[in-house]
Amino acid sequence: MGNIVLIGFRGTGKSTLGKRLAKKLGMGFVDTDELICEETGMSIPKIFEEKGEEWFRRVEEKIVSRVCELDNFCIACGGGVVLSKSNVEKLRKNSKVILLKSSPKVIFNRIRGDANRPALTKKEELFDEIRFLLSERKNFYESAADFVVDTSRKGVNSCVKEIIDWLNCVGFL
Ligand code: S3P
């Protein structure tokens, strides 16, 4: 059958939609960030603080290799997973890759004050970081995706419906 992989920036709804989608389709669900925390015994902020982003990305690659071996799973990926070409190649092999997109303002409102999301740049303002990274990562996200859903203004149910309609359309379901 294969997997459904959800990619996209922080706060675009990967975990929320992924869980709902998995339940609705009778698939398993995994979140790469959760697996990284289980594997390392550390929270994401602690990893960034004590080990740094490069170390985090290496663990992330290892986890991606592992989740790619799954079947019939919905896989929610950390926002930076697409920065590695080998992650994208592995994820695309046995999965439909769906990009969740939202506007910078919506992302800002969803993630501000979330202590579980360490800074990824030296920018003082979170809004500036979001805008900067979205434009830096735009091509990575878009070229990795088979389908794109804008989650800015739609509720969870209508996003899930949009994804299921598309999966039916391409013969995945
Ligand atoms: C990151 C996104 C986070 C997490 C880490 C790095 C990124 O995942 O993997 O903080 O580089 O965008 P979420 O997108 O689930 O918040």
Probe ligand 1: pick from 10, 56, 61, 114, max atoms within 8 Å of CB?
10
pLDDT of residue 1: 87
Within 13 A of 66's CA, how many CA atoms are on the CB side? 14
pLDDT in tens, 80-100: 999 999 999 999 999 999 999
Probe ligand 1: pick from 5, 34, 44, max atoms within 8 Å of CB?
44
Does the pTM surpass 0.95? The reply is yes
Atom of ligand 1 nearest to the CA of 120: 11
pLDDT in tens, 26-78: 999 999 999 999 999 999 999 999 999 999 999 999 999 999 999 999 999 99
pLDDT in tens, 137-157: 999 999 999 999 999 999 999
- Record the tokens describing residue 13, joined without a space: 């709804």
Q: Check if the beta carbon of residue 81 is closer than 8 Å to that of residue 87.
A: yes
* Residue with CA closest to ligand 1 atom 9: 78
The strand pair at 147-150 and 73-76 is best described as: unpaired
Residue 152 CA to ligand 1 center (angstroms) comes to 18
CB of 10 sitting under 6 A from ligand 1: yes
